[in-house]
Structure 1
Amino acid sequence: MHDPDDSFQLLPGAADSPVILHVPHSSRAIPTDVRGGIVLDDRALELELDHITDSHTAEIAAAAVEAAPIAPWRFVNGLSRLVIDPERFPDEREEMLAVGMGAVYTQTTHRERLRPPGADPRPLIDRYFHPYSEAMTAAVGARLEAVGRAVVIDVHSYPTERLPYELHGDGPRPPVCLGTDDFHTPEELLAHAEEAFAYFGGTGVNSPFAGTYVPLKYYGKVPRVSALMIEIRRDTYMSEPGGAAGPGLVSLATALAGLVDALSA
């Protein structure tokens, strides 16, 4: 049985850093008992993991920590998003339920069945989603208490070609997409990110993915919690769909470290 206490890690940074690099979708790990509730055969599951996993984003975040003058904190999901997606809502407010990708996915990236009809998501939500959410909320709270502010930087990646599950994938697909929130993404934060990633041929905003991750305790209530989502197009640093990383990884980590430095000043 997989212990939910080791399904994620909070990796400490500098005591005076407000920045948390949040890496929710980098893992391919699925506990054996959870695998038993997935209807795909082994080959199909591996292919789905190639498409759905934000491969090497944990390595990008780790390298950014090493390069940053003031080390940020990191919150890293140790399990695949096919177990639970910690950035979804566990109720019907989440539009991704329309494509079977709420907190517990029922469909694949290609709109095929992932779990049996009528599968109850509540055991996975109780076992993994709620502990994750509580720990991330506590991590943000600790930065607020220690520094007076918190900056959550989501580190994601996305495929060069649109996948069938994407609800808003018909717009631009820039090398780096910056997801924002009207309340939690101040103009200065967005400007710092645009400058940091300008080297990669330009950034876009909220296309093909929009929004940010902020724990619900603070969402829309505490402006001292700011947030930005960074979606890196995969062809800039790896072989798609699930292949090895290339030299772009180091360059991206350097750019991310530059953003962290600007936000820590």
Structure 2
Amino acid sequence: MASRTWPDDTPASFQLLSGAADSPVILHVPHSSRVIPESVRDGIVLDDRALELELDHITDSHTAEIAAAAAEAATAAPWRFVNGLSRLVIDPERFPDDREEMLAVGMGAVYTHSTHRELLRPPGVDPRPLIERYFRPYAEAMTAAVGERLAATGRAVVIDVHSYPTEPLPYELHSEGPRPPVCLGTDGFHTPAELLAHAEMAFAGFGGTGINSPFAGTYVPLKYYGKDPRVSALMIEIRRDTYMSEPGGAAGLGLTALANAVAHLVQALTD
């Protein structure tokens, strides 16, 4: 499958991997990487051991593999937008301003604190250089990818592929609710009932799905967010014990079954 990497002068290291020309689906994988450029690592106060443990907790390990296997299994391959850098560089799914509720725990577009609410970057660090260098090129490229699907098919469906730990971590703002095997995050404007129904059917064999607990919402580029109903979106949050050893361990047999479920969802949305 062909891939496209943005030029070196936009050093975000993300890829848009092409799918079927008539597929409206983009599998978005923003948090699967552990890669941190040296220049960014120099601004993180954790020592090497603590940083590796933090990456174990914060990384949605193997989600890029799930998306790749799903694309391989689907009759009409979806497009895939994959972040090649850790979310400890920037988190492309946060609002880059004070609308972001995760700022309350130091996890806006640029994290200042860890999953255990420990200091990650020096107090008073300016997030703007990282936002300009990494966040904005990513957002622009994802906006363009959605625009290409709209131009080609008349619609775009963004499916976020995430995972989350079996036990709550201290940074979670809404940890008191259910933690089902598969959590489906929705948006009142961008998640139509039919899309949600397809997802619930695709993941019915995994012991149950939940909606917006422990994580809620979807990712839609700001150009289209709340404005263009042709762009629909759903977040898939997979509980990690269903497919891997925690924290940060190897994938298990559940990965293939989950990939097949994502492939069924992709096919239903394409058909």
- Structure 2 length normalisation: TM-score? 0.96
Task: Work out the CA distance in 1 between the residues paired with 2:98 and 2:228.
Answer: 24
Report the residue type matching 1:131 in the other structure.
P
Deviation of the 1:5 alpha carbon? 4.1
Once residues 207 and 89 of structure 1 are traced to their aligned partners in structure 2, the CA distance between those partners, rounded to angstroms, is 20
Aligned partner of 1:197 among 199, 203, 216: 203
Task: Please state how far the C-alpha of 1:4 moved relative to its aligned partner.
Answer: 3.2
The residue that corresponds to 1:244 in the other structure is 250
2:3 matched to which residue of 1? none
Secondary structure at the counterpart of residue 258 of structure 2: helix
In structure 2, the partner of 1:179 is 185
**Which of 13, 16, 25 matches 1:10?**
16
1:115 matched residue in structure 2: 121
Alpha carbon RMSD of aligned pairs, Å?
0.8
- How far does residue 7 in structure 1 lie from its aligned partner after superposition? 1.2
Is 1:159 the counterpart of 2:165? The answer is: yes
Unaligned runs of 5+ in 1: none
The residue that corresponds to 2:4 in the other structure is none
1:50 Cα deviation (Å)? 0.1
**What TM-score results when the alignment is normalised by the length of structure 1?**
0.99
Secondary structure (helix, strand or coil) at the match of 1:145 reads helix
2:107 is paired with a residue whose SS is: coil
The reply on whether 1:31 has 2:40 as its aligned counterpart is no
Aligned match of 1:105: 111
Deviations for 1:15-35, whole angstroms, at most 9, x for unmatched residues? 000000000000000000100
Aligned counterparts, 1:31-70, within 5 A: 31-70=37-76
Q: Is the 8 A contact 2:16 2:81 kept in 1?
A: yes
**In 2: Cα distance, 1:49 partner to 1:118 partner:** 23
How do residues 120-159 of structure 1 correspond to structure 2 at under 5 angstroms?
120-159=126-165
Say if 2:212 is the partner of 1:209: no
Aligned partner letter, 2:191: T
Q: Supply the distance in 2 between the matched residues of 1:172 and 1:225 (Cα, whole angstroms).
A: 28
Q: What does residue 234 of structure 1 align with?
A: 240
Amino acid at match of 2:111: Y
The residue type equivalent to 1:79 in the other structure is L
Residue correspondence of structure 1 range 89-104 to structure 2 within 5 A: 89-104=95-110
Distance 1:217 1:79 in 2: 23
Please name the residue that 1:258 is paired with: 264
SS in 1 for 2:26: strand
Q: Distance in 2 between matches of 1:6 and 1:70?
A: 28
- Identity between Structure 1 and Structure 2 (%): 84
Runs of 4+ in structure 1 off by over 6 angstroms are none
Say if 2:12 and 2:137, in contact at 8 Å, map to a contact too.
Answer: no
